[in-house]
Amino acid sequence: MAKRGDKRESQETGKQSQGLDERRTSERDRRVSEQKIRIILKGSPIPAFVIGTDHRIIFWNKALEELSGIKANDVMGTDRYWMAFYKEERPCMADLVVDNRLDELHDWYEGMYTKSKLIDDAYEATDFFPALGTNGKWLRFTAAALKDSDGNLVGVIETLEDETERKLAQDALLESEQKLKSTLEGFSIPSFVIGEDHRIMYWNRALEELSGIKGNDVIGTKKQWTAFYEKERPCMADLLVDNYLEDLPAWYGDNYTKSTLIDDAYEATDFFPDLGSSGKWLRFTAAILRDSKGKLVGAVETLEDVTDRKIAEEALRENEQRLKAILEGSPIPTFVIDTDHRIIYWNKALEEMSGIIAEEVIETDQHWRAFYDERRPCMADLLVDRRLDEIPIWYESKYTKSKLIEDAYEATDFFPDLGTNGKWLRFTAAALRDSRGFLIGAVETLEDITDRKLAEEALRNSEMRYRRLSITDALTKLYNSRRFYNQLRSEIDRANRYSHPLSLLLLDIDNFKHYNDTYGHLEGDTVLIRLGEVIRRCLRKTDSAYRFGGEEFTAILPETHGDAATTLAERIRQEFENEVFRPNKKEKPHKTVSIGVAEYKSGEDLTTFLKRVDANMYVSKKEGKNQIHFE
């Protein structure tokens, strides 16, 4: 045993020694690796510095000394590397990476930085540093996390690349491209370009064809107006070059708008009677041209022949007018909205139904007012916005997809704010599309079906009343024997299926014939009614009571064993015995009831079950009445 223990101890000592050797080897390898990195960085032509997790400089290479003018010995071991790039102290990108303050990159380098696609845990940016060199420098810098073999952060390296010459070349190229763009922009459609002196610099072939004026005849002149007007007047490009924007209304009235796509640009559509044989409709856009420094160098004006479109629009307007006339004369309340949810049509029939005249709502989005007391979407709104998934939210089970019209939905609902007592409406909303299939709006028609709904409701109520009468005893208001047999069959099926208990009570009023003969049928009816009330009071919600026939009553007790049923029967017996009757002014008789109780036996049929409870009730009668029998 001792030898075995010595062997185990020797193994443990060997493992510890091996672990120590591995750590020494790892430390030696790390130092060798760091030495190699230092040698590589020192000789690298790319300016670089390395900081530790405490933000102190570990390495500052020769290339960075030359770029910054700061010697390594002056900053090694300090956190003053910011001095190389900024006039005031602020974090470099390396600081943010070391502290994992990556959410602050946006604050310090907004619009300039990106995550490196090549290196994990690295970020890149390009910025101008005015304090570097004589006129400042453009630097592209990358900060990357440094981690040991265990993945622990040990510092950050930041490399810097002087991109000043490339940026200057880029700027020169951009300026050249800007000039080229200034002259070639809009080349595929009729265009001309003027300089800041209003002289034509460019007049393309498309404009030659449109105007009948050759470029050579007008290049270098200020005769751009001759292509469009009989008398000399400024074109839109002239007004923009002179910054006479306040004069635009005087020359173009309400026909112009500020471009939503191009800065310093305006658009207009107008008819030019001198173009072509019958004149032309032109849509023209004038835009300021600037060089790379933002200085105004001229303006470009492009012109699009929209004559065919204007003719088509006019035809469309005529069609719309015809449609409006049809809708106005329709007896069906109707409104139409466009894709902005603004009302295009609101016909007379809808005016009468809603009490809102068209003038109040045309070109507004107030159609909801006709139907609801607070703003919410109509079905037409949901179709215009293609929010079909919201139809169930607003209309629940009241809607269906139309079987007759594509992109249409129908619903029926009650609107309490319409008319004196509200109205039932059947409404259909359908998407409207142009000849190319593009959505242009939605139409919603409304049919007043209040009378029909009231008739349906009256019929439904009548049917329910008839059904209720068909299963209810008119005198006691308990269910009748017809209902009893249907319910008992269902409960027997359930008891057999789930092996749940089921009990049945059969009650018979003692000496009822004698009471009836003595005091009359009306007083006898009172006894029957009172027993029905007692039974109803004593039963649970899951139980049900029935007038079985004459003075006999039954109660079905689901989920109830015979003992519990007997307890409930005793409660009924006692409460009924305590009831006081007043058949005349002198007498105050009490009545009693005999009750049979039976618990259902699995597999037993309905007839056998009934015979058992009936037999138990007759035992109660035979043994003296006013008692309960269960076996």
Taking Cα atoms as reference points, which of 234, 241, 245, 218 lies closest to residue 287? 241
Q: For residues 239 and 246, what is the distance between their CA atoms, to the nearest angstrom?
A: 9
List C-alpha distances in Å: 430 to 368, 370, 371, 386, 414.
17, 19, 18, 11, 20
Taken in order 71, 76, 80, 84, the sign of the CA dihedral is positive
List C-alpha distances in Å: 516 to 200, 217, 509, 524, 535.
121, 126, 11, 5, 21
Taken in order 433, 434, 439, 443, the sign of the CA dihedral is negative
The 334-338 sheet, strands edge to edge: 343-346, 334-338, 439-448, 423-433, 408-415, 399-401
Q: Count Cβ atoms within 10 A of the Cβ of residue 196 and give its class: 0-12 exposed, 13-18 middle, 19 or more buried.
A: middle
Q: For residues 616 and 631, what is the distance between their CA atoms, to the nearest angstrom?
A: 7
On whether the CB atoms of residues 129 and 85 are closer than 8 A, the answer is yes
Helices (DSSP H) in 273-374: which residue ranges?
307-329, 348-354, 358-361
Per annotation, catalytic residue among 161, 304, 551, 604: 551
Q: For residues 195 and 220, what is the distance between their CA atoms, to the nearest angstrom?
A: 9
Q: For residues 284 and 262, what is the distance between their CA atoms, to the nearest angstrom?
A: 13
Pairing verdict, β 334-338 and 343-346? antiparallel
Determine the residue type at 198.
H
Whether 623 is a known active-site residue: answer: no
Determine the residue type at 313.
E
Active site members: 551
